[in-house]
Amino acid sequence: MLKIEPDRLLNDLKRLRSFGATGTGVVRLSLSPADMDARRWLAQRMSEAGLSASIDGVGTVFGRSRNDGPALLIGSHTDTQPTGGWLDGALGVIYGLEIARALAECGETRHLAVDVASWIDEEGAFSGFLGSRSFVGESVDAAIRSARNREGVLLGDALEQAGLAAAPRVRLDKTRHKAYMEPHIEQGGRLEAHGKSIGVVTTIVGIRELRLRFTGQRNHAGTTPMSIRRDAGAALVAFIARMNEAFSQLADADTVWTVGRIELDPGSFSVVPGSADMCLQFRDAGAERLRAMEAALAALIRDFNAQEKVSVAMLDGEPPEEPVTMDAALQAHLASAADALAPGQWERMPSGASHDAQVIAHHVPACMLFVPSIGGVSHDFIEDTAEAHIVLGCEVAANAAARILEAMRK
């Protein structure tokens, strides 16, 4: 059984937490001074672990084992949300570092190759999944020229200021990189609710993001009788109720949908809204269910326009993200390690959040492992995971990594 060093693991996680620490959380937006300090520290820790470490031309920190392949790539991200937690992404990167060290310290596994990555901008301060997209060969040059963060800084200027613009970009080497593992906190409450310690991810859900506009007639709120109003705000609320009912008939326990923003025009106490916009997102692990939800939404819009005084139209949304299934053989290795170290304490489950693994899985086999999030909270300063679960998760990931690497060499 491969052994990790729990104190070393936890100390590295806590040291990484200090870069951008804000109360119990972290503010470490991509390419900010705190983020670059963290990346330089991480590259140094990788070098101390015997990896050949660099920060590439988009900001990804990459530690390459000096062993010949085949190699298992382990990674996640160390940038945060504006109100970030200390483990989102960071856990998987430090797991990768600790697993590389543990393999090197064991006589039976020191010949095995684990490369470690901290992808840049998973959280999308400039351009979501920038690091992993660049790694697999997607063109990111347009984003570098035009993407801006919320302060209006161009991505290209941020890379120039960080001293990275001329650095080479790390690329996937399919002759070396035979699989990808991304350990992560769950960011939800399923494991905690089920009393489980480990989640073996089956699928990363697909996402649909749409914007709907309701068009009525602005009018005086005091003098316009209810019977003749064309109230876009009231119509929007009524539509959401119908949508909730329709989606509920299609959903399973893991299907989710969210109206994340509502905007009324003109947004005044004394004016009947003439138009109203809503931003809708829905997620599911099944492509067929996502299509059924899209069809149900289209039918609701047709029926609403045929019956109501207010019209509704679907505006352009974000390109759809399809569900991505994790590799079955890699899942089996994670499950075997979980059975050995946490019998009865693990389960298979989908990921309701997006991850770099969904980008990389289109190019090499990929897998993910989850550990519980206390209270199901993430993307917030109070995000946390019990230390026992952090350590157990790394032990499972490390032993699964050894199993995967040995299987590659047969």
Which residue ranges are tagged as binding site for Zn(2+)? 77, 88, 123, 184, 379
The C-alpha angle with vertex 358 and arms to 354 and 359, in degrees rounded to 5, equals: 115
Q: Find the distance separating the first CA and the last CA of the chain, reported in whole Å.
A: 19
Q: How far is CA 261 from CA 63, 178, 216, 267, 278, in A?
A: 40, 41, 19, 14, 6
What one-character DSSP code corresponds to residue 374?
G
3-state secondary structure of 201: strand
Residue 318, phi then psi, degrees to nearest 5 = -75, 150
For helices 6-17 and 90-105, the axis angle rounded to 10 degrees is 150
Residues belonging to the binding site are 77, 88, 123, 184, 379
* Residue 335 near residue 184 (C-beta atoms within 8 A): no
3-state secondary structure of 8: helix
Closest CA to 312 of 281, 277, 271, 263: 277
Q: Which two tokens stand for residue 304?
A: 């609403």
For helices 387-408 and 90-105, the axis angle rounded to 10 degrees is 60
Q: Please list, in sequence order, all residues whose beta carbon lies within 8 angstroms of the beta carbon of residue 177, skipping any fewer than 6 positions away.
A: 69, 70, 71, 72, 73, 115, 364
